[in-house]
A and B are shown apart, each in its own frame.
Chain A
């Protein structure tokens, strides 16, 4: 097995960073390479022009030697000036110093001949040599025939700084140009990346919106390479909802299927009477509680993580209040709803109905004449919360008993579910939405129950 290399941190960064870094790297490499090639070509051209000028002098000197002239003279006075850097020398390679004729500027010194094998007659060789003062010189060498098989070589040299300065100027200008080019390339790359990755950013925003409950599906058109991804996300959300719905239906069916025979058993036992009837009735009651308790919790647990549902509070509350007005028709109950139209709960409608239903049921049962449901905003802009407060003017609950009424997740053998006021399931549901249920005393005299849930008020 191959050992896996630790992943480079770059690989974990965003696609935009990966693209930007690789684009910058490669354009850098290309620009530097192109610059080097251009500088080399320029140097070559400059040297050739320089060599051409030196060759004119070499040819002049060569023809003077060939015609047997004694005092050799190059066309430029700089060759007369001592150590001017402009030198010539004529002689046979390998010959002794005396046999070499040099320009006055050399003041008796000689220059080394260019390296390399002896050239053919008439060919021109070029290269760099060191001058008497150590300056780098550009030299042109030409070997000529001086009758009767004799050969001589003419070497003309001039300071190389001129070439170097020229090349340096060019390289600087080139570097400045390429730097500007690189900057523009980088900018355009960044713009391209942003433009190119915009669909991905949109997709991410869409998924975030679903998670926040602002949308149900990923909508809009996407390029064909990520459109399947958007489609898959929608299918996933859809199948998630379907599974949930199916689980709920089956749980409901199970409850229905068990509860009807339980009703029959209980009533039949009552009619019959006797000790058997008592046992049947008490066991049936236990069964009823267990079914209710565990089905509620199974349902509640099944819906954690459902994506993106938002439920407006007002219609749900209004429906419930209409129902309670009917249920308590004999009581002349004043049910008041003080919820803004925009109040929204981030979660399933059924769970909101269950929580409010139980709270209102409890309040309506105990109220003397008045039940109020209020919805208020809380939290901040980042994490908006919704407060739902149910109050009544009933007898209320003493402070020391309130805590045990909302105790969550108690097992069946620890507490008797259903014996309370249905508030423990409310607390359980609220907790599933990372919310809470707190009980207090209402200004109206009775119990005040406050649900703190994810949601907002417009």
Chain B
């Protein structure tokens, strides 16, 4: 976005004007921050004793870190499960067998349309009543819901990744005597996986954010611990801000990794031919992940 095409390179007069507006904008931004800060201070929310809990080792040791461990546990199990689920059902949707294809399509479309929260609430009760699971039932409920929803999204990524490969790849595979399945396994899926990597990492952000839904079924994750800890101390607001900052830092890192991967891959992945070269305000590398459907590649998929 360095030189957006929406406006000309500014001349001396426009530069002065932009500088003026720039200063005004910066003052407004600072003003908003100051307004929030002093507004909070005015309501007595900036007292040191409400914040210093979060620099004490005991708070972290007894509440935040165990919560974070559980959040990460759910997220990592969710990521592993979704990738496996996505590969199985993504390949299933590419199958030429109508029965397998139809079954996988119904499953994937169904779980993409059902809110994750609904699944979490259901699995929590269902697991507690019907299955004897080791450990925390709430954890398994969260993981199951994350896997079914995000796995379905990953399945769509796999499918669109394979669909967007140049046709010659499969034809070459068949020409050297591979079966359709072998060509999928050895030629198409490996390339599709590389092409979908940025979108996949973007989906990990969604999984991590969604794990916070476990709060509703009292799963001992970060948000739940933050709330439990802060309620009696009267600093829920402060605890929520600290929790949000932790999530933002982890997710921001993940997003940056996705961006880096997508830049590095832009040279390796074949862009589709009809991608217009010059677009208004297109940042360099915006089309990097061009081999995945525009709707799917968007790592901004608004999970929760």
A binds B: no
